[in-house]
Each structure stands twice: as structure tokens, then as C-alpha cells.
Amino acid sequence: MTPEEFKQHGHQLVDWIAEYLETVDTRPVGPTVAPGDVRRALPEHPPLDPEPWSDVVADLDRVIVPGLTHWQHPSFFGYFPCNSSYPSILAELLTAGLGVNGMSWVTSPACTELEILMLDWMRELLALPDRFASTSPTGGGVIQGTASEATLVAILSARWRATGGAVNTDGDTTRLVAYLTSQAHSSVEKGLRIAGIGTDRIRIVDHDESFAMRPDALAAAVADDRAAGLVPFFVCATHGTTSTMAFDPTPEIAAIAHDTRMWLHVDAAMSGIAALAPEHRWVNDGLELADSYCTNPHKWMGVNFDCDLYWTADRAALLGALSILPAYLRSAAAEQGAVVDHRDWQIPLGRRFRSLKLWFTIRLDGLGVFQEQVRRHVGLTQELAGWVRADDRFEIVAPHPLNLLCVRLRAGDAATDALIEAANGSGTALFTRTELDGRSALRISVGGRTTERRHVAAAWDLLRRLSPSG
Amino acid sequence: MTPEEFKQHGHQLVDWIAEYLETVDTRPVGPTVAPGDVRRALPEHPPLDPEPWSDVVADLDRVIVPGLTHWQHPSFFGYFPCNSSYPSILAELLTAGLGVNGMSWVTSPACTELEILMLDWMRELLALPDRFASTSPTGGGVIQGTASEATLVAILSARWRATGGAVNTDGDTTRLVAYLTSQAHSSVEKGLRIAGIGTDRIRIVDHDESFAMRPDALAAAVADDRAAGLVPFFVCATHGTTSTMAFDPTPEIAAIAHDTRMWLHVDAAMSGIAALAPEHRWVNDGLELADSYCTNPHKWMGVNFDCDLYWTADRAALLGALSILPAYLRSAAAEQGAVVDHRDWQIPLGRRFRSLKLWFTIRLDGLGVFQEQVRRHVGLTQELAGWVRADDRFEIVAPHPLNLLCVRLRAGDAATDALIEAANGSGTALFTRTELDGRSALRISVGGRTTERRHVAAAWDLLRRLSPSG
């Protein structure tokens, strides 16, 4: 492709994307394909000669778009928001166009330095503790791809600290114990498994009726394990669980963690961004006591996936766990201690220039847009909760302080499951099913960039119409 | 940002990128900034109000670009190629514009199905064994972010298989032993460390004078460990090491691995793409005996980072190691076994729609462009080797079958180090230093999309001019 063709096709694709995003509300939210349909619509073998741009665009419209679940649809209430924004899309284009690798400072200083600055900007916008600032004596932040990776990095830091670094030599994890509730994200158990902490040494701590961790149950479990000669090393507190957006009581958990020198990681992947609005800064409660923290602008701030922000108050543990320095990655700047090499802050070696999308989004859309978005989603969720409470067929099954509402039909699990299936089958809205203490629930996650009152009202109308009369 | 502004700014940014890439050869290859310069040139605190697009573009030119190491510069001979292409940049724009998450089939079927098809296309284009095809009884492929992640996934699969799955429960890794040479990529040791295999149980197997693993040394180490009651579980063979592009003898290694039921992972991150050209398919020697394999289109095929292709012949071990299924991720299609959920094939949960960049690149540039690129780079490297051989001051320190040449000055390590520093300081070319058995070497990695004979000739001229007369 020549530069002239790139410009021509690029302009066309930019326009195609605007058209897609501005008309996505006219499409069914979920895909309209059966397993195998997409593959069968495409050639089984690769072309050996180049094809025209127009053919690729035609296949995009014919095959790819009908095969999508439209996460940017205003009636997408599934999973969690993974919203994007026009400035962020442009930044991703720029990231690709520059094509640099930010594994070390010296491999592109601007990539490293802009990222550190963006983490400091975000710390300030979210009103996070000073201990996470890059200028603090022991802390700092970095972009991870996902909260899964942030959690794994936290676990590895904890493992290193609890063993005094010995794990790097002996690999012995057999006395380490971790604590979480059944409501913690699946990536916590997955991360522990990867790090050599099997289910035998993962304690599922009881939760209360709000689905938050019970500190007394944590304290008891920790005491039992210590009495048995085991080493409590890691506890995950979630600020906004995936199933119901429950908030674990971090200050109380921190007190227990502190007594036992356990690592306290706070996972606020979904809800931490609420702190952009000062009235929601309660979501930060207890962070001044956490060893590490993460939240995802790629969920609720219009920054394209992947962009998880990870802060630690103990970067020595992080570097102890993850640093490896072969000769071909050495640099004078790093050896003089003048710079940070982000490869030592993450699982992979290579890394994209991801901070550009934070920079573009913050500068071009601005704080007011994010605050309005958070307030709109929270307000719509609370209004929806009022409508649900007025319908006797439904019950709200968990606290809903922010932008997620979980409901079920009083008629029982089969009725709730049937409702979810019928609603998703309609194509006019999309929801996710979860289970809470063994019972079905329908999650309504309100987080789309273009989700307005009318979309929420239509979704509620759909759910009412599809529910058996009382 | 409104859709109209997005279109206007997007067109401008597309043109900016074409201009950047077409004129990058007029810039110094490396950055011209000192530690802290980039940060100091930007506001310490975030703006609270939106700023105009023109200000952001101005800062891009003023602050970001001078702070880059220009990986797309035709005289970039550092590290490894991380080349890109116009079709791939457009695909990254599209990925951002669609904004879908491909963690499961149901969260965007087209994302999952196009990816599987692209892995099958690439298997065919690279002439890889049938056992890696998605249609094989036990194999399949997936896109990982980096070879580091691919290696970690291989290690976790191996760990699961060697323990019969028990590691997921007891987390006990204390009898497992892994084998690699000092020339294997740093991510292998890092991945082992993450998986709970400390340096006490990592065997650095001797290499021969070509920097390739000695099978007799491997066999002896394995026998010693078995005699000591340990469990050999993982061996990494590298096809194209980072320092010198050495090729470990995979057929011989496979025979040893087979006898002990060790997992054999072949890391061809840098060199596997050479197999696009039939005359270089020797790089695949032994793959029909490997349990897993990876190579990176984001290194040498014009597909933007991140795009590592990972194939396994034992997907049951992969799924055993990495599957976790909370209620909110269940789907009817997956439970019926009709589809693949890629979240179980990787470390993170979320994933971008990365196969679009393979699809665009293969269709729009076409196989001929990649083959020409591989042949050009290999040819230029061999021509360069001829020039080096004719200059008595230099010696070539390792075999150079493809596109990497390692040289040193006969005058000694200090002279070689000084040459590297002076050459990189010139701004007209960029090289990486490595150490081989304790001695310095200068690596010349020839892999840029726009790197031509004149760039290699100029680089050689630079090195000659900066070297002490003989």
C-alpha cells in the first residue's frame, strides 16, 4: 500500500468508523450469527495476491459487523462497560502509526515519560493517596493491559515480599495462603494459580448480605492458617465486584493485613473511575492502606481497551519479582538510576505506547465529559432501581451504589433465566446473567458513552413486557 | 469530540502519520532527549478543561516525536525489527473504532472466528505442521500479545501436564525442572519464575560454538535430575536467539523431550516468519515434534505490535492450566462445545480484535510483499557480512543465516563498546550491544520495512569510519 493509498483509505475508514458508531443503535446489540457462520463466509485459504481495498471494506460490512456483539451500542447493558471515545480512537491510530516499543526508557523515552506523567495525572484526578505518586519514595504507577495482569503483578510482588525474595530461587510457594471472597473476579484465582498458589491454599472468605467480605471471617481464617504454620501473604479487596458491584470493607481488611504483613491489593477495575466525580470518592476508602491498586479507564472513562492503571506503594517488591536484565537490554541511563524501564513493571517484555490514549482523552474531551458520564450512568441506574421497586414481580438483589443493578423475578430462577434469554434474543438490549449464592440474577450494567435515559427506559420496558404477568 | 470533528481530525492524523513515516529517515534514529526532558516539557497537572486539537498536534511535534526512538526508521538496526505497514495501521484504527472485547465467542463471534481462521492461514503460509491446525484433533492457535506471554502459557501448560493437573490444587512446583541455554530469551527465565520455577531448578544447558544448545549436555542434565528424583518438565528450544539468531537443534532436543515426556516449546519469535519464503523453511526443522510454537508477525511481517502467534499441539493441557469459568462468563454456545472461548487460551481475560491486522495485511499487501521483504533483509545481511569479512579490523562472531549479523573489533571489548556508543551517538544508525560468553558484540539487525541497500551501506560506512585504523 502506497502512502497515497494509505491516506485515501484512511480517510475513508475514519468516516466509516464515525458512521458505524453514530448508527450502531440501529443494529441488534448482539450478533446474529451461529457458530461457524463467520468463518464459513470467508475463504478457507489465504489469498496469494493482493486484493483491492473495496473488497476488504465490503467483507467488513458483509461478514465482520454482523458477527459482532456491539459493545458501543447504547443498549449494551452486558458484562461491564468497555466504552471508547473519539479522542481515544485517534490516539490508537497514532500509537500504530508511530510503531515504537516502550519496553525500556531508551527504546522510546517519550513513551515511558508520558506514561508516568499520565499515571500521576490520573492519581490526581481520582484523588488517590500520595503513596502511589511517581515522586513518592517507594511508589509509582504503570499501564497494564488488563486488571487480570495487574492482579497477577500484585500477587507476584506479594509472593516476593513474603518470601524475602527466596521464591525467585527456590520457587517454593507451598506455605503461602491467599484470601478473597467468592465475589472477587475470576482473574484473582487465575492469577494465584499461575503464581503457584493452588486452590488448597486459597481461602474463600465469607461475605455478608451485601456480598462484601466479612472482616471477622477473614481474621478467623488468617488465625487458623497461622496456627497451622502457613503464611498468609495476599488478600484481595474488591471495590465494585463483577457480579453486583459490592465493596469490600478495605479499612477493616487493611488492619488485618497490616498485623500479618500480608499484601493488600484493591481491585477497582470496574468502579474506581467513579472517583472522577468528587461525590463518589468514597470508592477510594482505605486505599491509603493498600499495597497496590488498579482501575480501568478502558471500562468507564472512554479510553479504549487495553488500559488498566496499576499503582503500587512498594515498587521494590514489584522490581524484585519481575526484573530480569540480559545484556541486550542494558542502558547507561537505566544503570545510572536516572530512568524507569517499564518492562520490569509487567509480565511481557514489549509494550505499546498506550499512554497516548489517556493524554488525548484527557486533553480533548476533558474532565467534565467524564464526570458527566459517571453522573449520568449513576443517575440512570438509580432511576431504574426506582422503576424496578415499583413492580412487584421483580426484586433487587444487591446494593446498587453506582451503575450496576442486579434483579431477579420473584417467580424463581427458571423465570429469571427465561427472561434473560428472551431479552437478549430480542436484539434490542443485552444483559448478562450471574449467580448469587446459587440463584440466578440479571445484571444491568449502565455504562455506554451514548447511553441515555431513553435507552434505559426501553430496556426496562422490554424486561417488563417479557416477564410473566404477576 | 463530535463525529464531524473526529472525521476532520482523523483525516489530518492519517496524513500526519504518512508524512511521519515517509520522512522518518530525515530524523536522528535515536532520541535527542535526556532523562526527564519529555516530562518537563509537559504540564505537571492535568487540564480541567478541553484543549484544542491543534495544541495536541503541536505538542506531538514539539515533545513526543523528538522523544522517540524511531523503530520505523530505515537505519534502525537495534534490538529486533518491530516493523509495521500501512494496512496494519488501518486495521489498528478499525480495532479501536469497533471497540469490541473478544474474551469469549459470544462477546463477539467475528473476533474469535476470524482469529482462528487467521491462525490457520498463517499456519499454511508458514508451512507449519498439521498438528497445529484448528481442525486437528488436539491442536490449535491463538494470538498472544507477546512471545513472553506465549512462553508463559507454554510453561503453564507444561506444568499442568507434568503434574497431572495437581498443580491447580496444591501449587507444588518444587520438583519440576526446566532446561534452556544462556542464549534463550530473558522471558523464558521470567516466565519460569512467575510459574514458581526458581533458578535452583532452571538448568542452563551448554551451547556449542554456534551458540546452539548441545543435545548431549541436555541429555546429561536431564539424567542427573531424574536420578535426583526431580521431574524434567519443560525445555525451550529457540529458533533464532535474540543475541545472535542461533538455532537450537530441535529434532535432537525433541528426542530427549519425548523420552522424558517433557514439554518442548519452540520460540521462533524473531525468525519464524522467514518460513514465508520457501527457501528458508529450514527454520521449521523439528516443529512436527514440538508441543508448542510461537512466532511474531509484529517483528518481521509488517503487522503492528502486538501480534504473537502461538500454536499448541496439546490444547487440553492449555485449557487445563488456564480455564476458569465464573457464572457471568458462561454461554450456551460454549457449554455445547460449539465454540472456542479465547480467554482460556491466555493470561488476561479481555482481548482486542487483533486478527484484523493480520487479515488486512495479508489481503492488502499480500504474500509477495512479505516474501520480498524477508529476501531483501537476508540478502542485505549476507552482503554486509561480505564487507565485514574484507575488513581485518572486524570479526564476525556467530553464524548469520538470516537477517542478524554480530561483529566485534579485534582490538577488544573496550574498542567495540566505544564503537557502539559512538555509532549510536551519531544519530544516523542505531545498533544494540550484547555479550557473548562475556565478550562484547555489536548486533546489526536488518529488518525495517523501508531498509534498503543504501541504508545498510551507510551503516557499514559509519562503523568503519568510527573504528580505529588497523
Q: Alpha-carbon distance B246 to B424, whole Å?
A: 25
The per-residue pLDDT for B470 is 65
Q: Give the pLDDT confidence score for residue B400 in this predicted structure.
A: 98
Query: Which residues have a Cβ under 8 Å from the Cβ of A460 and sit 6 or more positions away?
Result: A384, A387, A388
Q: Which of residues 193-212 of B touch A (CB under 8 A)?
A: 193-201
Choosing among B19, B101, B319, which should be mutated to test the A contact, i.e. which has the most A CBs within 10 A? B101
According to the model, what pLDDT value does residue A327 have? 77
- What's the mean per-residue pLDDT of chain A? 96
A7 and chain B: CB distance < 8 Å anywhere?
A: yes
To 10 degrees, what angle do helices A367-389 and A453-466 make? Answer: 30
Give B111-158 pLDDT, tens digit per residue: 999 999 999 999 999 999 999 999 999 999 999 999 999 999 999 999
Q: What is the pLDDT of residue B328?
A: 76
For residue A330, is pLDDT > 90?
no
Q: Chain A interface, mutation test: which of B51, B61, B190, B245, most A Cβ atoms within 10 Å?
A: B190
Is A101 close to B71, i.e. CB distance below 8 A?
yes
Whether the bond into A306 is cis, omega within 30 of 0: yes
CB neighbourhood size of A258 (10 A): 11
pLDDT of residue A333: 81
- Residue B45 has a CB neighbour count (10 Å cut-off) of 10
Q: What Å distances lie between residue B273 and A57, B38, B302, B402, CA to CA?
A: 27, 36, 11, 11
> Are A3-68 and A94-364 the same fold in CATH?
no
Handedness of CA A384, A389, A390, A391 (dihedral sign): positive
**Within an 8 Å CB–CB cutoff, is residue B278 touching chain A?**
no
B13 touches chain A (CB under 8 A): yes
What pLDDT is recorded for position A60? 98
pLDDT digits (tens, 9 = 90+) for A176-228: 999 999 999 999 999 999 999 999 999 999 999 999 999 999 999 999 999 99
How close B11 comes to chain A (CA, Å)?
A: 5
Cell numbers for B104, please give them.
469469549
Q: Does A322 contact B at CB distance below 8 Å? A: yes
Q: What is the pLDDT of residue A198?
A: 96
Contact (CB, 8 A) for A457 and A428: no
Return the pLDDT at A384: 98
For the segment A27-40, the average pLDDT, to the nearest whole number, is 95
Residue type at position A321: A
pLDDT of residue A454: 98
- Residues in chain B with CB shorter than 8 Å from the CB of A435 are 327
Q: Do B327 and A435 touch (CB under 8 A)?
A: yes
User: Residue B358: enclosing H or E segment and its boundaries?
Assistant: helix B355-360
Domain A3-68 is of which CATH architecture?
Up-down Bundle (1.20)
Domain boundaries, chain A: 3-68, 94-364
Q: Residue ranges of chain B with pLDDT lower than 50? A: none
Q: Residue A170: what are its φ and ψ, rounded to 5°?
A: -95, -15
- Per the CB < 8 A criterion, the answer to whether B299 and B269 are in contact is yes
User: How many beta-carbon contacts under 8 Å exist across A and B?
Assistant: 485
Q: Given CB atoms, is B98 within the 8 Å cutoff of chain A?
A: yes
ipTM tops 0.85: yes
pLDDT single digits (tens) A351-394: 999 999 999 999 999 999 999 999 999 999 999 999 999 999 99
Residue A470 pLDDT greater than 70, yes or no? no
Helix locations, A330-392, DSSP H: 332-335, 355-360, 367-389
Q: Nearest-CA distance from B148 to chain A in Å?
A: 5
Contacts of B191 (CB under 8 A, 6+ apart): B148, B151, B152, B154, B155
Strand partners, A309: A143, A295
CB A440 within 8 A of CB A408: yes
DSSP-based three-state secondary structure for B87: helix
Burial of B16 (0-12, 13-18, 19+ CB in 10 A): middle
DSSP string, A135-156: TSSS-EEEEES-HHHHHHHHHH
Q: What is the pLDDT of residue B337?
A: 80
Residue B442 with chain A: CB contacts under 8 Å = none
Strand A439-445 and strand B308-312: pairing? unpaired
pLDDT higher than threshold 70 for residue A12: yes
CB contact under 8 Å between A10 and B14, yes or no, is yes
- pLDDT at residue A307 is higher than 90: yes
The grid coordinates listed for B20 are 511521519
- Span A232-241, mean pLDDT? 98
Residues in chain A: 470
For the beta carbon of residue A255, count every other beta carbon within 10 angstroms.
Answer: 15
* Minimal Cβ distance to A86: which of B1, B16, B71: B1
According to the model, what pLDDT value does residue A337 have?
80
How much is the pLDDT for A324?
86
**Is residue A331 very low, low, confident or very high in pLDDT (cuts 50, 70, 90)?**
confident
Comparing A328 with A70, which gets the higher pLDDT? A70
Give the confidence band of A326 by pLDDT, cuts at 50, 70, 90. confident
Sign for the pseudo-dihedral over CA of B306, B311, B316, B317: negative
Residue B265: C-alpha distances to residues B172, B200, B222, B274, B377 (Å): 22, 20, 16, 18, 27
pLDDT number for residue B230: 98
A58/B contact by beta carbon, under 8 A: no
Coil, strand or helix at A7: helix
pLDDT tens sequence across A95-129: 999 999 999 999 999 999 999 999 999 999 999 99
pLDDT over threshold 80, residue A164: yes
The architecture that CATH gives domain A94-364 is 3-Layer(aba) Sandwich (3.40)
Tell me the percentage of chain A whose pLDDT exceeds 70: 100
Contact predicate B179/B215, CB 8 Å:
no
Round to whole Å and give the CA distance between B223 and B177.
12
**What percentage of residues in chain A have a pLDDT greater than 90?**
96
